[in-house]
A = this chain, B = another copy of it.
Amino acid sequence: MPQGGEFQIIERYFTHEAFGAWRSRGVGDDCAIIDTGAGRLAVTCDMMALGTHFLPDADPEDVGYKALAVNLSDLAAAGAVPRAFFLSIGLPRRDDGWLADFSRGLMRLAEQSGCALLGGDTTRTAEVKGTRAPVTISITAMGELPAGLGLTRAGATPGDDVWVSGTVGDAYAALKYRWGEWDLMPDAVDAVLARMDRPTPRNALGEALLRRASAAADVSDGLLADLGHILERSGVSAEIDWEAVPVSTALRSMTIARQHEAALTGGDDYELVFTASPEKRDAVLEAGVLTGTPVTRIGRVTPRAEGRVVVRTAGGLPVELPKAGFDHFAEK
């Protein structure tokens, strides 16, 4: 689920005093964590639009894949096992070719992840003459958690290590490449674009971290923005060692300023950023090995300070940070 300015809309207008038999333990997290009385569920809900989350001419098969992947990634951040999802599509007219391609990408990932499509709805959105009105996709995904468990953004304490899975920044570099603003090494183009179009949700790692990590989020808004959400909810700060931040070879070939911009503030990587006690270092590395997911220790949690995150180079100098995070409703 979203954070930042978008989330504040939901928070501002739709948060009331708690009522009803089901409460969420995860308000402000990637998932709502709900005790139903009979079990514990993680539920997430993401809406995406062509032209906002996807380039207007995006391959519909990629759109289908990614629409589910970002929801699975939210379940991964909670450590939940994906079980079922519900799909809404708003489109201006029935376009069978688009739907068939979209479905192929979506259902392939659904089957791979054991997350069944158990319901859905389509609706015609108002058409504006002479234009292709936006395609809107909303997915609500549900996962299962063991009683009493579930990763949230709260729980990081000073002294914890900060970790991240995989590499960060490639999805942002791919976007910049598509916009014609950045160049990529010719032999890296396909791999970098795949990171944007077909991100790998880290569900196996998330499940393995359930008893190992103290807090977690997925990297959708950007490494610093999403780590910032953990720090804010946990009431702590953090120091990050820039040289430890894992970036791909393709990104390493760029200027240091672009590396900072992509790896620290670029979104859409769908890696997991998480914290864990230093006693759990071996256990976290083991979780990475068991699930075939690279995990890298990139810093440490510190007591609450004015600046939420400081990123330092090996020389100890702080990295000057570009403006972080992505907000669909921010004024430009």
Whether the Cβ atoms of B37 and A125 lie closer than 8 Å is: no
Q: Which residues of B contact A310 (CB under 8 A)?
A: none
CB-contacts of A133-175 with B (<8 A):
133-134, 136, 138, 140, 142, 144
Whether the Cβ atoms of A10 and B116 lie closer than 8 Å is: no
Question: Which chain B residue shows the least CB distance to A40?
Answer: B38
- A104–chain B nearest beta-carbon distance, Å: 9
Chain A interface helix/strand/loop/mixed: mixed
Whether the Cβ atoms of A114 and B21 lie closer than 8 Å is: yes
Whether the Cβ atoms of B140 and A45 lie closer than 8 Å is: yes
Q: How far is the CA of A50 from the CA of B90 in the complex (A)?
A: 11
- Stretch of A1-9, A232-240, A300-308 on the interface side: A1-9
Whether the Cβ atoms of A6 and B123 lie closer than 8 Å is: yes
For A2, give its contact among B48, B90, B122 (CB under 8 Å).
B122
Whether A119 sits at the interface, judged by CB under 8 Å, is yes
Q: Which residues of B contact A283 (CB under 8 A)?
A: none
- Stretch of A51-59, A204-212, A317-325 on the interface side: A51-59
Q: How far is the CA of A114 from the CA of B23 in the complex (A)?
A: 11
Whether the Cβ atoms of B21 and A83 lie closer than 8 Å is: yes
Count how many chain A residues have C-beta atoms less than 8 Å from C-beta atoms of the other chain: 78
Whether the Cβ atoms of B99 and A13 lie closer than 8 Å is: yes
Whether the Cβ atoms of A121 and B144 lie closer than 8 Å is: no
Question: Which chain B residue shows the least CB distance to A144?
Answer: B36
Q: Which residues of B contact A117 (CB under 8 A)?
A: 14-16
Q: Mark A7-35, 1 if CB is under 8 A from B, else 0.
A: 00110011110111111100100011010
Whether the Cβ atoms of B128 and A136 lie closer than 8 Å is: no
- A143–chain B nearest beta-carbon distance, Å: 10
Give 20 CB contacts A-B under 8 Å.
Answer: A1-B119, A6-B121, A19-B116, A21-B83, A22-B84, A24-B119, A31-B119, A32-B86, A36-B38, A36-B39, A39-B39, A48-B123, A49-B123, A49-B125, A90-B134, A122-B328, A125-B134, A128-B128, A133-B133, A140-B140
